[in-house]
Each structure stands twice: as C-alpha cells, then as structure tokens.
C-alpha cells in the first residue's frame, strides 16, 4: 500500500537543548506542562507565560536520556534562551541552542521509528528531530503543513502573538498544553482561575469565507456588534478570536464579506459548555 504521508521541514522551528542535574525541577516551575514525569522519547506541548498568565512562547518538550529538547519558534530562540537563563539562578542546568532540524510528518497513520506523535491532536501527525523519514514519504513544504494545521482548526504562534492571549483562549487546555494538577508555574494563578470559572467567553476558532483572507486584526461583526477579530489565514480559511456569545450561530461579516465560524470536532464539547 502506498504511503500517503507528507514530510515538511519546518524552518520556522528550532531546538533548545536543556540538560544538567536540575533540568526537571528548573522547567517544572516555569512551564504549563508537567516535566517531572516526562519519559525519554515522549513529547508534550507546553507554554511559558507571563506572570500575569498571558502567552509568551509555545513549545514542545521532547524527553531525552540526558535532558530534553524544547522545540520553539526559530525567530524567538535567542529571546527564549535569554528568558530561561534569567530564571536559572543557581540551578545546575545547561541551556543551549541545538542545530538539529525540525520536521513534520503528516497525512498518514503509520508510526515512524524515532518520531514523536504530536500531542496536541493525533491528526496533526508526527514531529521529527533529526529522525530519518520513511523512504516513501512525499516531500511537502512548510506552507503545506500550515494549511493542514489550519484545516484542522488548530491555532499557531501567528495567532496568539506575544503577551496578548491567555492560553485557554488559544485552546491550550484542549490540546494537552496545560497540566492543571502539576502545581505552581509562572502565570498559574490566572490560568487556574479561568479554568475554575468554567465558562470561557472567547476562543480561537476557524472561520470560512470566499476569496483571500482578511487582514489580521480585521473586525468580525454580528450585525453592528463586534464579535471578534481575524488572526492568521489563507484563501478561504483563517483563525479568529471570537466572542462565543455573539459569534456562534450568528450571521457574521468581515469588511462587508460574509464569514462563518466552523467548530472543529475536537473542540465541540468545550464550545457547547461555554456557549
């Protein structure tokens, strides 16, 4: 049977190697994800927040025998290394950029050796860090992968920016990006309070429309009422931050064009509880 998997090198992503005797304790007090129980060969999704609980950086944490890799935005790697170094104090931990390439394998079900299943959503596929790709995987571009992610309604760094968005608004709670049982982390108080209240007023959801994507920041209207704003997108589809009480089931427009919210299956139950 032919392999339908597509392989894309993700030049927009890069790795930070974290090691040393205190690496688990160090990251445990910073990230939204539990790393104390992270096993070698396991991948978890996480974030580093501001003390006020807003998203600074997303990352994947990949368990290794002698520490972990943090997969981050390549453009922000120096800033992340600097931020982590500020928190290091006397901890016995080493933090350094790693040139191992990052790749995504998607569109198929086979489990490739040495690859990590994307913990956010199984349909997103696999993450690879210098791992050999299946010989019959077909070459794809990073834009192809981004289109795949957008089709699934999964937001990305271009949608949440920096110090603007709460992780629950960006769906980190639904993509296994927050461990609410792990104890303290930077921004934990605000994040836990939003979770306890239960009813989330705004969420990132995909919108569909005809033609090119509206400009990021374009206002979504339900009649004359503001119902949200457009984030990143491509022809026919974009992510948006919407007010659930105004956007769901309403006739929406952006710059005079009709748009509609499409709730992905993986978000449906959470959206129905919050609406």
Report pLDDT for 1: 38
Assess whether 37 and 145 both reside in one domain.
yes
Residues 41 and 116 reside in one and the same domain: yes
- CA gap 235, 145 in Å, rounded: 15
Residue 36 in any domain: the answer is: yes
pLDDT in tens, 9-21: 999 999 999 999 9
The structure's pTM equals: 0.94
Is residue 240, in this structure, part of any structural domain at all?
yes
226 pLDDT exceeds 90? yes
**For residue 130, is pLDDT > 90?**
yes
Claim to verify: residue 107 and residue 18 sit in the same structural domain: yes
User: Do 164 and 54 touch, CB atoms closer than 8 A?
Assistant: yes
Phi then psi dihedrals of residue 37, to 5 deg: -100, 5
**Which one, of 208, 211, 216, 217, lies nearest residue 247 by Cα?**
208
Q: Are residues 84 and 205 in the same domain?
A: no
Do 58 and 116 share a domain, yes or no? Answer: yes
Tokens of 91: 């901890």
| Any domain includes 205 | yes
Task: Pick the closest to residue 168 from 143, 192, 138 (CA basis).
Answer: 192
- Percent share of the chain, pLDDT over 70: 98
Domain check: are 147 and 213 in the same one?
Answer: no
Is 117 in the same domain as 203? no
Q: Are 154 and 229 contained in the same domain?
A: no
pLDDT at 247: 94
User: For 233-246, what is the mean pLDDT?
Assistant: 96
* Dist CA 71 CA 129 (whole Å): 9
Task: Give how many domains the chain has, as a whole number.
Answer: 2
**DSSP characters over 191-234:** HHHHHHH---SEEEEEEE-SSSPPPTTPEEEETTEEEEEEEEEE
Give the strand pairing for 202-208 and 257-261: antiparallel
Question: Is residue 158 within 8 Å of residue 168, measured between CB atoms?
Answer: no
Say if 44 falls within a structural domain.
yes
pLDDT-derived band at 26, boundaries 50, 70, 90 = very high
156 and 203 inside one domain: no
Q: What is the mean pLDDT of residues 130-139?
A: 90
Same domain, 151 and 247: no
- Residues 146, 217, single domain; the answer is no
What does pLDDT average to over the chain?
Answer: 94
C-alpha 154, offset from chain centre: 7
The answer to the question of residue 182 being in a domain is no
Tell me which residue range forms the domain holding 222. Answer: 199-274
The pLDDT value recorded for residue 112 is 83
CA–CA separation, 264 and 250 (whole Å): 17
Whether residues 33 and 108 fall in one domain: yes
Task: Indicate whether 184 belongs to any domain.
Answer: no
Q: Is residue 135 part of a domain?
A: no
Q: What is the CATH number of the domain that holds 11?
A: 3.30.1360.120
Could you read off the pLDDT of 82-96 as tens digits, one per residue? 999 999 988 999 999
CATH of the domain at 252: 2.40.30.110
């Amino acid at each position: 049977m032919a392999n339908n998997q597509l392989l894309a090198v993700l030049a927009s992503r890069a790795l930070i190697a974290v090691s040393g005797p205190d690496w688990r304790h160090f990251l445990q007090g910073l990230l939204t994800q539990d790393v104390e129980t992270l096993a070698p060969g396991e991948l978890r999704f996480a974030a580093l927040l501001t003390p006020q609980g807003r998203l600074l950086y997303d990352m994947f944490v990949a368990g290794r025998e002698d520490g972990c890799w943090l997969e981050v935005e390549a453009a922000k790697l120096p800033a992340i290394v600097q931020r982590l170094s500020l928190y290091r104090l006397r901890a016995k931990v080493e933090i350094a950029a790693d040139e191992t390439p990052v790749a995504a394998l998607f569109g198929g079900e086979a489990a490739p050796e040495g690859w990590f299943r994307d913990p956010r959503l199984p349909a997103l596929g696999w993450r690879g860090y210098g791992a050999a790709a299946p010989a019959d995987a077909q070459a794809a571009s990073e834009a192809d992968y981004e289109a795949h992610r957008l089709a699934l309604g999964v937001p990305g760094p271009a949608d949440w920016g920096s110090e603007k968005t709460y992780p629950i608004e960006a769906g980190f709670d639904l993509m296994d990006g927050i461990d609410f049982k792990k104890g303290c982390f930077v921004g934990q108080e605000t994040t836990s309070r939003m979770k306890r209240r239960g009813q989330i007023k705004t969420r990132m959801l995909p919108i569909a429309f005809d033609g090119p994507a509206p400009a990021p920041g374009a206002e979504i209207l339900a009649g004359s009422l503001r119902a949200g704003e457009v984030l990143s997108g491509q022809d026919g589809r974009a992510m948006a931050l919407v007010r659930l009480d105004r956007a769901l089931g309403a006739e929406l427009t952006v710059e005079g064009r009709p748009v509609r919210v499409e709730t992905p299956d993986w978000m449906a139950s959470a959206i129905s509880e919050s609406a």
